[in-house]
Each structure stands twice: as structure tokens, then as C-alpha cells.
Amino acid sequence: MRMTATMCFLRAACIAAVCFAQISSAAALDELDLCVYGGTSGGVAAALQAKRMGRSVVLIEPTKRLGGLTTGGLGQTDIGNKAAIGGIAREFYQRLRAHYQDEAAWKWQKRETYRDGGQTQSGKGEDTMWTFEPSAALKVMNDLVREAGVEVVYGERLDRKAGVKKEGLRIVSIAMESGRVFRAKMFMDATYEGDLLAAAGGSYTVGREANAQYNETINGVQRKNARHHQFVAGVDPYVKKGDAASGLLPTIDAKGPGAEGAADKRVQAYNFRMCLTDHPENRIPFAKPEGYSELWYELLFRNYEAGYKGIPWINSSMPNRKTDVNNNQGFSTDFIGQNYDFPEASYTEREKIVARHREYQFGLMWTLANHSRVPESVRKEVSRWGKCKDEFADTDNWQEQLYVREARRMVSDYVMTQQNCQGRVVAEDAVGLAAYTMDSHNTQRHVDASGHVRNEGDVQIGGFPPYPISYRSLVPKAAECANLFAPVCLSATHIAYGSIRMEPVFMVLGQSAATAALQAIDEKVPVQKINYAKLRERLLADKQVLAWTGPKTGPAAGKIDVKLEGIVLDEADAKQAGDWTLSNSQGWKVGAGYVHDSDSRKGEMVLAFTPEIKEAGEYEVILLWPPFSNRASNVPVTIAIAGAEPRTVKVNQKEVRGGGVLSLGKFQLAAGKPVIVTLSNKETDGHVVCDGVQFRKVK
């Protein structure tokens, strides 16, 4: 058809209008103050803060759902101490409380019949709620975003190969796989994976650091601490029992376990936090997945056959007869060793890893509910549960969000470590508090020296109060990028990240990072150079909690008790022989824990303390331990001094009158001469425990 002059004019006008719209859109994007990539809870809090401060912001979420794990099944909020959480994060949990105050929110049970528990239990008069359904969390999250007017872009993934454009040290734009470009003055990586950080050239690490790298004790390979979530003794690891030539069963790492405390690239296990229900009208029974492989669950069967009797899950009660299910015991929902490639994998490869995790967990639940090699009592209980008809309706009633407990972690000019967690190092530029134990799920499954299967990597060390997170751990090295924040994949060692990586803390850090980003714009400085005093003032005004003023737990912020005079050596300072277990379940005075022998392997475990005596004189040597009824009554402790006969004292560690403080005697010690105090578990009649040794000068 031949175009008339009028038609040509209209066509030209339309083209001009489209071009003008594109130019206007580009100009608007150029004016963005903050571009947040990743709609996790931390990303949502960041976008909300920017909008509330009257600034322009876009929030890009690669999936179709905001909130990450907070809306993806993790309804049993891990935090440790709720009083450490302020700002937008606390507002989120207050809104959840308000949501459940409405009788209309209770479809499947009456409100008065619901009971939360543990660390998430709502106290009398508390205005927050920390247990919730995924759908409720999503509603609150969407309401917050809608009310603030945050622009959310769904379904756009970063072009990780060529999508980050920089001019000098500044990112000027990021492009998506679709070709869509976002320009801003400041950028934030709020993903669990750290994709924007990596694409922008920021330093990062994957896996576990060696203990020696940052002067830690519970990083790296952790066979000694891997006491929890273990198999029953004697489970055979081979496809054909007793036949190594038949090969290892699935998920067992033939290269493991590695040297104690050594670095590796292994990543702690992932799983899905399952929202299940036992309400008949809302329940979808577990179905046997296509491609089901019975061999994947052979270790589960053998664990039962070796004597395990329980149900391998933590099934925490959520409102409306729903649950948040997490990993528990030796063989459970954690797909151990199957995620090592995930942090740096391509999108396609990640999708395959997620699908494999989903298939494994579907198969596990069907197995526990139906397989004849599972005890009948277990099958009866598990089969009561199923997926919820009214959760994740768009994705076959199953969440998309895999529990990525840890992926890339930034390495900035400040690295949060075990020393921060336990208070030996205190960040002076706090942007929030962490309050959880140092926690790692198992990282590998291997064959032990006895030829049986063991899990490795589980660490659960707490006993310290909330502690500050450094602003410098949220920004890259000054020489790498001047306008990027990473509040989710922040700069922390494996074990410190295990304490920090809680959803409420990510919200806190997202809000603080957004505040700092806008301040950096106003001050016209790189993000590493902002005025911290000014930032702190604004954070406090926004009700962030930056210092812990509540009661201390355990030692005084993890430091040596100030009442202990003289030379004090922690058990970590001793040369150790044998398989000592680190613990903190009882009181102690030195460091962040103590060790015990698990009342096992008698005669194999030794601690040798060698103080440096700089001033000659008479010293009282004092043994420190937490007393308890299960302790040994005959622990041999030997004091060996150069030029003198060794003296051995038998210590009754059940004794509580001295509070776990016992003088081993007074000794003349010479400056620079060797002194060795040795404690062992040879022929002892209970748990042998040690927290440290004190050398107090008396003359």
C-alpha cells in the first residue's frame, strides 16, 4: 500500500515520539541516584531507604518474586538476639505482627492455638513477629515497596560478561541479558551470589580460609568440631558394603577430608526451606519425582539400619498449620557437596544445580514418607505432611529460592573475622549488629580413618553478645571501585559470615548501605571516603542499632576476663594432641569457649601450655574450667619446670565450690626458662575439660 503524505507524517511523528520517549527514559536513568541489583530482603530495605530519603532508585530482581529467602520459606527467623535489629528490618517484623493480629489472616487454624518457640518466640507485649508464612512475608514486602513507590524491575539478569561499564573506578551503567541498560550514580549488589561485585572487578573469595590466614581457630576444614548432624557410627560408604572397588555412594567426596584447619574451595551445603502443612484441605501429598534414584538415599537407609531412629528434619511451627523445615542429623535436606560450582557457575549451570537440589529434596520427602526401608513410625509421621496449596502457586507450590547459605564473599580493605564475632577486635565504624552464633552447615561427606562415612564442616560456636559490623566491609577495596556496595556478600571470612548472614541483618546492612551511598553522592567522594560520623548520626536517627548495651553473655565480649591477673593462656594457645571438641554450653572465663574430650579416646588427648616467663619470681599456677556433674574426678595435670622434678596434680573437675578455678601450687619460675603445664585424659572417669591456665605472680 502506498503511503499518503498524512500517513507519512503520522509515521514520522510516531517514530519521533518513540525516540523522544527512549531519550527521556535514558535521561531519567542517568539521573538515578541508586541502582540496586538483587531483590533480596537486603535489596528491598536498600531501595526503601533511598526512596524514603527522597532519592531516585530502581530495584532489579532477576526472578518474579521479591524477598529472597525471607519470602522463600525461611519463616523461622534466625537472629540470635532480636534486640540487635532496628530500622526498616524491625518495621518489617512489626508489620508481620500486625498482619497476624487480623483474624482474617488465620484461615487454617485459630490464632490462639498457634505457638511459636525458641529464639523466635514473641514475648509478652512484643510488637514484632519472627515466624511467618512465605505468602505473608511477600505481602508485607510488596506493601512496603508499593507504599514507598519503589520502581521494581522483574525478570532481568545481569550480563555477567560484558554488562558492567566503568569509567575509571566508577560504574556508569549495568546491562541486562535482554540489553536493557541502567545508569546510576551508585550501585549495589544485593544478591546472595555476588554477581555484580564480580563483574565490576571487585575482589572476592569462595570457600573456606585457612585458620592461619586471619588468626582464626574454627575456619577451614573442621573434622574436630563436626560433632552435630552426624551419621550413626559404622555406616559403610561403598556401593557394595565392604567393597571399596565398587565405588563410593553418591555425595561422598573421594578427595576429602583435607588437613584440619586448612583452606579449601568447598561451600557449605544448600537446601530448600520447606513450607509444609498437615491440614488435609491444604495439603499436597509428597509424590515420587521423575528420575528418582534410590541410590541417592542408600546412606539414609544404612543410617537407620545402624540404629538411627528419628526423623531427620527440624520442623518448626508457622502460622496456619504450616512449617519451616530445615536440615537436621546426618542425612537430611542439605545436599552436601553438590553446590561447590554454584557461586561462579553460569546461569544455565546454576539452574541445573537448583533443579538437582529440588529433585533430591522431593525424592527425600517421598522416601521418608513411603519407602519400606524407612521405619514405619517415621513414614507415618512424615506422610502427614505435604506441600501447601496456597503457597508458591505460580511455581508448582515450591519455592524458586534455593538456600544459598554462602557463595562469593567480597574481600575488601576490612575483613570481618572470628575475632570480630568474639569481641577481640571491635569495628569502630558500625553500620549494624550481628547476633548469631558462628555457624556453618556441613561442607563435605567423606570416609573417615575407620572406613565409615562422616560429615565434615559443621560448626556451632556462640556465647558472645551482639557485635558491630564494619562499614568498610560493605564496600570494595578503594583501588577497585568507587561507587559500589555489597551488603549481602560482604567482606567476611567463612566462619564470620556464618554469624552475620541472617536475613534481618541483611536488611539492616542494606538500609545502612543505601544511606551511605546517597551521602557519598552529596559529599562527591568515593564510597570509601564518606564522613562516618555523619553517617552514624543519620543511621541512629533512622533507628538503627549500632552498639550493644544489653547484658553480655559468656566472656566480656569474648576477651580474657579482666579479673584474671598475670599470664593467662586460653585452651586455643595450647599445643593439642587428640580430637578435642570446642564448646561453650557452660560458663567460662577465657576466650569464647573451652574444650572437652567427649569422655572418649582415653589416653589420646593432651593439652600442653608453655607460657613465656619474662620476670622471675614465685608464681601460682591455676587451672580454669567450667565445672559440671559429668566431669572427671581424676584429671592429671603435670607442671614441668626446667631443673626441677615434674609435679602431677589430680584435679576433681566435678568440684563446683571453686567455680572451676583451682590452684595447682606455687612455683619458682625463672625468666626465659621453659615451663610446661600438661593436661591429659589418661585413665579419667568422666569428661575432661579445659578453658585455660593462669600464671599469677605472688612474689
Which helix (H) or strand (E) segment holds residue 568: the answer is: strand 567-570
pLDDT of residue 28: 40
Q: How far is CA 187 from CA 170, 197, 249, in A?
A: 10, 10, 45
Burial grade of 589 (CB within 10 A; 0-12, 13-18, 19 or more):
buried
Global pTM reads 0.80
CATH number for the domain running over 29-205+470-541: 3.50.50.60
What is the Cα–Cα distance from 143 to 175, expressed in whole angstroms? 28
What is the Cα–Cα distance from 478 to 169, expressed in whole angstroms? 9
pLDDT of residue 256: 83
* Per-residue cell: 300: 539414609
Q: What does the DSSP assignment read for 153-167?
A: EES--B-TTT-EEEE
pLDDT of residue 699: 82
Domain 560-697 homologous superfamily, CATH: Galactose-binding domain-like (2.60.120.260)
Residues of the chain with pLDDT under 70: 1-30, 118, 551-563, 579, 584-588, 592, 657
pLDDT of residue 139: 98
Q: How far is CA 36 from CA 47, 114, 484, 488, 520, in A?
A: 7, 37, 10, 12, 16
pLDDT of residue 22: 37
Strand order through the sheet with 164-167: 164-167, 170-175, 181-183
pLDDT of residue 2: 43
pLDDT in tens, 377-429: 999 999 999 999 999 999 999 999 999 999 999 999 999 999 999 998 999 99
Boundaries of every domain in the chain: 29-205+470-541, 560-697
Helix axes 503-523, 532-541, angle to 10 degrees: 130
pLDDT of residue 173: 97
pLDDT of residue 592: 66
